[in-house]
A and B are shown apart, each in its own frame.
Chain A
Amino acid sequence: MLHEISQPLTTMRCSLEISLMDPKDQRLQRQSIEQALKDTERVIAMLEELRVILGA
């Protein structure tokens, strides 16, 4: 489970970093924000699963 959470975190981190490399590229920035939202949803779903497993 822990290594699965690493995947969306990597995508989020890299996409945000890369979008800052070219501040003029608004399309890239939008793609990054959308990707970060998707990845946040993935992390939340994994945390929910973990909560159920731990019975918390």
Chain B
Amino acid sequence: MRILVAEDDEALGGFVRRGLEAEHYTVDVSCNGEQVRSLAQDVPYDLLLLDLSLPQLDGVAVLRQVRVRKPSLPVLVLSARSRVEERVQCLDFGADDFLAKPFAFAELSARIRALLRRCHTTNETVLQVGDLRLDRLGRVVERAGQRIDLTVKEFALLEYLMKNAGRRITRSMIAEHVWSLSFDTASNLVDVYIAYLRRKIDCVEPQLIHTVRGVGYMLTMGGRA
């Protein structure tokens, strides 16, 4: 699951990123309203965490513009301004939930889970390829009924491969999606993590993760990539 955190306080954004990454989410943080609007419209996020006080384009304007292009993107608004009229205005402009500062991280995390549960059907939350099963909300991976323990990054990588099962995925797409890094910085990382995943996932037949020479990787049940 990939979340965009729009927060103008850099320190808070950084800690929220650490907390959410520890809970297996892939997280991008932005502190600029204009950039948030463009990212939310162009990148397929599963949820937007939106602080209302953003420079360049304030949170309410971001919300209104994002809603036009992404009517079903779950949006959780965070704000230190907690007057009833402001909450009502945000909900009317398309926010799915509102959390007033100072919030506890545990509550933020629970609300994110609740929103994702509401907004995704089981078809979208559980990915299955052959006997490999990944529960995106429960964060459980099983192959042939056997539970497999994955690290946060291994989980994010497998989730991305499974979401795109049957499609060729380039190393740069993986680097950008799983690590939010450019390919140059992460190319080696991608291969290293694919090797880790193979050791845990593909130690039984049939092999699911295939190398596509000169391109990247593909996860598929059907033999050749």
- A positions within 8 Å CB-CB of B: 3-4, 6-7, 9-15, 17-18, 21-22, 28, 32, 35, 38
User: Interface readout for B80-111 with A: 1 if CB under 8 Å, 0 if not?
Assistant: 11100000000000000000111111101000
User: Interface readout for B23-55 with A: 1 if CB under 8 Å, 0 if not?
Assistant: 000000000000000000000000000000000
- Check B18 against A10 for contact (C-beta < 8 Å): no
- Check B101 against A15 for contact (C-beta < 8 Å): no
**Given A3-B80, A28-B18, A32-B15, residue A11 in contact with residue B105 (CB < 8 A):** no
Q: Could you tell me the distance between the alpha carbons of A14 and B135 in the complex, rounded to whole angstroms? A: 27
**Given A17-B105, A17-B106, residue A10 in contact with residue B19 (CB < 8 A):** no
B9 / chain A contacts, CB cutoff of 8 Å:
7, 10-11
A22 / chain B contacts, CB cutoff of 8 Å:
22
- B positions within 8 Å CB-CB of A: 9, 11-12, 15-16, 18-19, 22, 80-82, 100-106, 108
- Check B105 against A18 for contact (C-beta < 8 Å): yes
Closest to B10 in A: A11
B98, chain A: closest CB distance, angstroms: 14
- Check B80 against A18 for contact (C-beta < 8 Å): no
A3 / chain B contacts, CB cutoff of 8 Å:
80-82, 101
A25, chain B: closest CB distance, angstroms: 9
Q: Could you tell me the distance between the alpha carbons of A35 and B16 in the complex, rounded to whole angstroms? A: 13
- Check A18 against B101 for contact (C-beta < 8 Å): no
16 new A-B pairs (CB below 8 Å) besides A6-B101, A9-B102? A3-B80, A3-B82, A4-B80, A6-B102, A7-B12, A11-B12, A14-B15, A14-B103, A14-B108, A17-B104, A17-B105, A17-B106, A18-B19, A21-B19, A28-B18, A35-B11
B15 / chain A contacts, CB cutoff of 8 Å:
11, 14-15, 18, 32, 35
Closest to B82 in A: A3
- Check B104 against A13 for contact (C-beta < 8 Å): yes
B201, chain A: closest CB distance, angstroms: 25
- Check B103 against A10 for contact (C-beta < 8 Å): yes
Q: Could you tell me the distance between the alpha carbons of A40 and B223 in the complex, rounded to whole angstroms? A: 59
